[in-house]
A and B are shown apart, each in its own frame.
Chain A
């Protein structure tokens, strides 16, 4: 059974810092990995999707990497801003998954202080 873990569970940094969020998964037979952002009381917004054949994806100040063999992904946020404060979740999609279901980590709650 696939298990996804995110460390740390919570993180507080001053504005302007570069930071790294970690995601690990136990079964390397994944189809892709997705990073989401969730603001309090809101739904999830997809940030980046990395296919299993890719090593990284970039969008603006965000960069996500994937090391499938070691079961790890990182989300790098450059020059953090107070507007980046949210919970960040990673999720993996299993290979040969007819339902395209995702397994989610518990999330990292990020606070960026002005």
Chain B
């Protein structure tokens, strides 16, 4: 099955500082990749998705950006963090399992971001 790695696991950053969260995927090729945010007491919000290298779609306007420099690498960034960017960030993927497309969406362990 597909395995997703995220780092760092936790991060505490001051307001106005930059951000870079990384996600890498194993066990599949040419996956669809997703960034979600889960704020305290709230559901999962899809932030970005990517169907290929360099192809990024944004679901909501925000202070964040995403990039996909390699097939199995997805990066979430910000130039200046806001207090409202605090939350639990999850990377997910959807891709091939052998010759067939696996309909299951797999999630990484998440990054807990606290902006002070």
Number of interface residues of A (CB under 8 A): 24
Known: A43-B90, A44-B90, A98-B51. A104 touches B44 (CB 8 A): yes
Q: Is the interface of A mostly helix, strand, loop or mixed?
A: strand
Tell me if A83 is interfacial: C-beta within 8 Å of chain B.
no
Task: Tell me the nearest residue of chain B to A45, going by C-beta.
Answer: B107
Contact across chains for A49 and B103 when beta carbons are under 8 A apart: yes
A 40-68 contacts with B by CB, 8 A: 41-46, 49, 51
Set of chain A residues within 8 Å of B90, measured between Cβ atoms: 43-44
- The answer for the CA separation of A34 and B106 in the assembled complex, in Å, is 11
Q: Using an 8 Å CB-CB cutoff, how does the interface string of B75-86 with A read, 1 for contact, 0 for none?
A: 000000000000
Q: Name the distance in Å between B35's Cβ and chain A's nearest Cβ.
A: 12
Judged by DSSP, the binding face of B is strand
User: Is A42 in contact with B104, judged by CB distance below 8 angstroms?
Assistant: no
C-alpha spacing A99/B47, complex, angstroms: 13
Residues of A within 8 A of B43 (CB): 89, 104-107
Interface residues of B (CB under 8 A from A): 4, 32, 34, 42-44, 46, 49, 51, 57, 59, 88, 90, 92, 94, 103-110, 112
Specify which of A43, A51, A98, A99 is in contact with B109 (CB 8 Å cutoff): A43
A112 within 8 A of B: no
With contact pairs A34-B105, A46-B105, A51-B103 given, residues A101 and B46 touching in the complex (Cβ less than 8 Å):
yes
- Measured in the bound complex, the distance between the Cα atoms of B88 and A109 in whole Å is 17
